[in-house]
């Protein structure tokens, strides 16, 4: 993803729906960045699981930047972490199982949004980006299954519209 940047996105005309997907994605990726930082700071996950948190943190930061670049390239303003006040339910960072449960609760709806964006966005380059983001989230979900126990792979993860994902994440996004 390091090759993606504002110039890569600047040639296409984005629709309002395209911008909505990107804005939502940036918001949730910033939520994930905060989540991973809090989980690392809690120091309740150790051993082989700690790298999952570090890689997830790096991925969320890269994803937020790529989507922010998409927005800037389309002439919009990208949200930043200071625009949000994330609210973590009590007990979120008390155990590896609690952290994994919260991660799954955030990652699944965002994966669904990225699937929907990859299928419906009007700009071909954006579809490639969203497909890559969805693949990365699938990897993160798989990594967390090693913490919470194998749940098995979903043969067809469900695509989710923005409203459904917003509803699923409203407790975290405020």
Name the residue ranges covered by the structural domains of the chain.
6-173
In this prediction, residue 1 carries a pLDDT of 38
Q: Structure tokens of 109?
A: 């709806």
In this prediction, residue 172 carries a pLDDT of 85
Write out pLDDT tens, residues 103-146. Answer: 999 999 999 999 999 999 989 999 999 999 999 999 999 888 77
Residue linked to tokens 């150790």: 46
In this prediction, residue 13 carries a pLDDT of 82
Q: How many CA atoms lie within 13 A of 137 on its CB side?
A: 26
In this prediction, residue 93 carries a pLDDT of 96
The CATH T-level fold of domain 6-173 is Ferritin (1.20.1260)
Quick check: helix, strand or coil at residue 133? helix
Write out pLDDT tens, residues 136-167. Answer: 999 999 888 776 655 556 667 778 888 999 99
């Amino acid at each position: 993803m390091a090759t993606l940047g504002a110039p890569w996105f600047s040639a296409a005309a984005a629709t309002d729906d395209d911008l909505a997907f990107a804005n939502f994605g940036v918001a949730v990726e910033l939520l994930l960045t905060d989540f991973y930082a809090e989980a690392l700071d809690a120091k309740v996950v150790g051993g082989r699981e700690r790298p999952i948190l570090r890689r997830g943190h790096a991925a969320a930061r890269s994803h937020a930047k790529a989507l922010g670049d998409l927005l800037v390239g389309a002439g919009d303003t990208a949200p930043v972490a200071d625009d949000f006040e994330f609210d973590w339910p009590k007990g979120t960072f008390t155990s590896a199982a609690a952290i994994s449960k919260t991660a799954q609760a955030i990652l699944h709806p965002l994966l669904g949004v990225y699937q929907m964006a990859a299928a419906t966005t009007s700009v071909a380059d954006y579809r490639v980006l969203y497909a890559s983001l969805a693949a990365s989230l699938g990897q993160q979900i798989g990594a967390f299954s090693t913490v919470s126990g194998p749940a098995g792979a979903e043969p067809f993860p469900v695509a989710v519209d923005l409203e459904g994902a917003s509803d699923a994440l409203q407790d975290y996004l405020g």
